[in-house]
Amino acid sequence: MVDKQRKGAIITGLVLAAAAIGIYLTVVLKFFVV
């Protein structure tokens, strides 16, 4: 149970962090590249 919970938490955290970094890079790179 705890291992499953930990795995779920790590995956959720990584997905959310990737989303945040992705949004930041989308905003900045869109303007730098154009």
Point out which residues bind other proteins (CB under 8 A).
5, 8-9, 12-13, 16-17, 19-24, 26-28, 31
Q: Provide, rounded to whole angstroms, the least separation between the CB of residue 16 and other proteins.
A: 4
The pair phi, psi for residue 18, each rounded to 5°, is -65, -40
Q: What is the SS3 string spanning 1-34?
A: CHHHHHHHHHHHHHHHHHHHHHHHHHHHHHHHHC
Q: Provide, rounded to whole angstroms, the least separation between the CB of residue 17 and other proteins.
A: 6
Q: Provide, rounded to whole angstroms, the least separation between the CB of residue 11 and other proteins.
A: 9
